[in-house]
Structure 1
């Protein structure tokens, strides 16, 4: 009986931990490059193909806490980033040159639609 309780508690704890993991990006393919575009003009600024940098950034974004920016009045990001696998666009996100701090615990540079990611990694194009 005691072993059964212990197994049940361990299983429950495992499910709680699995449920707490963030999977923000859910990319099905490896990112082979990140194209950086000016937000306003959509002019290509740079292409990042450093595999180590890309893997670390994807991991950080995927596991990051996010905060709503739905009720925040702020300027749009400086850059639009396209995460690509060869020529296929897998993911699009905004990037701010300056770290954003909205005072509600949200501090970061990466923005998507109405949420700010708690990631402050600078791009190598700056």
Structure 2
């Protein structure tokens, strides 16, 4: 009987130990994945900030609102495949030159700079 209890205790201890991890699931400092918005360290040891990783794209859509007071243009745009955005209506910051050309209801092509997931319209053209 003692032998059976000792065997059961030993088996329970081994099974419990097998289910535990020696290290925590998430590291204390998560590593950035390729193309992630986190800063990365270059080969020479210099770090690049996420703000430095701007992308440019172009899109097409219809202007639904213009607000010069806060320098924004709202555009109901088609999909922008180069940055993986589906068709939607979005409010964008806009350059002064783009604001001067913008009018509600205009169908446009536009140039876009994207940083940290937010876009800024840098130029608009009639479409």
Larger gyration radius, structure 1 or structure 2: 2
Q: TM-score range by the shorter chain?
A: under 0.3
Give the alignment's TM-score, normalised by structure 2. Answer: 0.22
